[in-house]
C-alpha cells in the first residue's frame, strides 16, 4: 500500500467537497485517508481571539464531521485524523512528502469564474512534493467522471510524473484520457509549409510522449489532441466537459512558486485541477 491520501481541512464550506473527493480517491486506489487540521490557521474573525480550548474544540468538531462523512460515503477506507499547531501550509507541505495525493478545497463561486484560491492553497501548491487536487466548494462530483484531460508539454523524463498521475487516475476510475498539446503556428502566412510541418511535429511529439503510457495502461482509452493556440486557453477549452484537468508545475520556482500559466488554469478551470510537480 502506498502513502495516504491527505486532505487539508479548515472547517469552512470548501472542506466538504475535499473530504468527499479524498475519500473516493482513497477507496479506488486502496489507500488510507489522513485528515489534517491546523489550529493555527483556523478561520476565526480578526476581531476574535479564541482560547486554546476553543481552538481544540473547533478542530475536533471539524475532524469529527469529516470522519463521519467518510464513514457514510466509504466505510471501508481507513481514516486517521490529526490536529497540528503548525501553520496549515507548512504542515501540509511537509506531510506531502509521504502522501500519494493531497486534496484541498477552494472558494469557487460559479462555473464561469472558477477557483478563488486562498493563501494556504497557493503556498501548498508551490511546495507540495506530491500531486495536489483543488476542488471547488460547490463541486458535486467525487472523481474525474468519464474523462481526464492532461496537458502535455515536454518529451522525455520531465513530463513523466504528469503523465503517470493522469494515466494512473484514469485507470483507477475507469475513465478515458485526453492528452492535449498546444501548438502556436508561425505568424507569417507565407510560411504555410513550415506551419504544416510544425503541426505534424507537434502531433509526432505528443504521440511519442504518450506511447509508453498507452502500453503501460492498455485499459485506458486515449484521445490525442493537438490544438492551435496558447496553452492556457487550449487546456481550458479541452476540459470544459471533463471531470479533472491534470497539469504540471516546475519544482523550486523562484521568486514565485507557481508560474502564470498554472495560476491562470487554476483560477479559470471549470473542473477540479491536479497540479503535479514535474521532474527536475
CATH code of 207's domain: 3.40.50.620
The answer to whether residue 113 scores a pLDDT higher than 50 is: no
Mean pLDDT of the chain: 85
Check whether residue 105 and residue 165 sit in a common domain. Answer: no
Flag whether 269 is in a domain.
Answer: yes
Check whether residue 68 and residue 119 sit in a common domain. Answer: yes
Task: Please give the tally of structural domains in the chain.
Answer: 2
The answer to whether residue 194 scores a pLDDT higher than 70 is: no
From 76, 105, 136, the end of a domain falls on 136
Flag whether 128 is in a domain.
Answer: yes
Flag whether 40 is in a domain.
Answer: yes
At residue 118, the pLDDT reads 63
Check whether residue 177 and residue 265 sit in a common domain. Answer: yes
Distances (CA, A) of 236 to 131, 262, 268: 19, 11, 7
Check whether residue 114 and residue 161 sit in a common domain. Answer: no
At residue 111, the pLDDT reads 43
What pTM did the predictor assign? 0.89
Are the CB atoms for 26 and 34 separated by under 8 Å?
no
Flag whether 28 is in a domain.
Answer: yes
Check whether residue 68 and residue 154 sit in a common domain. Answer: no
Check whether residue 126 and residue 74 sit in a common domain. Answer: yes
- Backbone φ and ψ of 21, nearest 5°: -65, -45
Check whether residue 192 and residue 106 sit in a common domain. Answer: no
* pLDDT 10s digits, 214-261: 999 999 999 999 998 899 999 999 998 899 999 998 876 555 568 888
Q: Which residue has the higher pLDDT, 280 or 252?
A: 252
Over residues 92-106, the mean pLDDT reads: 93
From 136, 157, 183, the end of a domain falls on 136
Domain residues for the domain of 22 are: 5-136
C-beta neighbour count of 256 within 10 angstroms? 11
At residue 212, the pLDDT reads 95
Check whether residue 130 and residue 223 sit in a common domain. Answer: no
Over residues 90-102, the mean pLDDT reads: 95
Over residues 173-187, the mean pLDDT reads: 87
Q: Give percent of the chain above pLDDT 70.
A: 83
Amino acid at each position: 500500500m502506498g502513502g495516504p491520501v491527505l486532505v487539508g481541512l479548515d472547517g469552512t464550506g470548501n472542506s466538504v467537497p475535499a473530504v468527499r473527493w479524498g475519500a473516493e480517491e482513497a477507496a479506488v486506489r486502496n489507500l488510507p485517508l489522513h485528515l489534517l487540521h491546523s489550529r493555527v490557521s483556523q478561520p476565526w474573525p480578526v476581531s476574535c481571539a479564541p482560547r486554546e480550548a476553543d481552538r481544540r474544540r473547533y478542530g475536533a468538531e471539524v475532524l469529527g464531521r469529516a470522519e463521519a462523512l467518510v464513514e457514510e460515503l466509504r466505510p471501508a477506507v481507513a481514516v486517521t485524523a490529526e490536529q497540528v499547531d503548525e501553520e496549515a501550509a507548512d504542515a501540509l507541505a511537509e506531510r506531502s512528502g509521504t502522501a500519494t495525493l493531497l486534496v484541498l478545497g477552494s472558494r469557487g463561486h460559479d462555473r464561469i469564474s472558477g477557483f478563488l484560491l486562498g493563501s494556504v492553497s497557493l503556498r501548498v501548491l508551490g511546495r507540495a512534493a506530491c500531486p495536489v487536487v483543488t476542488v471547488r466548494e460547490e463541486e458535486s462530483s467525487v472523481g474525474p467522471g468519464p474523462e481526464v484531460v492532461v496537458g502535455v508539454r515536454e518529451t522525455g523524463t520531465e513530463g513523466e510524473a504528469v503523465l503517470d498521475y493522469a494515466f494512473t487516475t484514469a485507470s483507477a476510475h475507469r475513465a478515458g484520457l485526453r492528452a492535449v498539446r498546444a501548438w502556436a503556428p508561425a505568424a507569417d502566412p507565407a510560411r504555410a509549409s513550415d506551419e504544416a510541418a510544425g503541426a505534424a511535429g507537434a502531433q509526432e511529439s505528443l504521440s511519442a510522449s504518450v506511447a509508453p503510457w498507452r502500453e503501460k495502461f492498455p485499459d485506458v482509452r486515449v484521445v490525442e489532441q493537438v490544438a492551435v493556440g496558447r496553452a492556457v486557453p487550449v487546456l481550458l477549452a479541452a476540459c470544459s466537459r471533463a471531470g479533472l484537468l491534470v497539469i504540471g508545475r516546475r519544482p523550486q520556482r523562484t521568486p514565485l512558486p507557481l508560474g502564470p500559466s498554472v495560476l491562470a488554469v487554476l483560477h479559470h478551470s471549470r473542473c477540479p485541477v491536479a497540479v503535479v510537480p514535474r521532474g527536475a
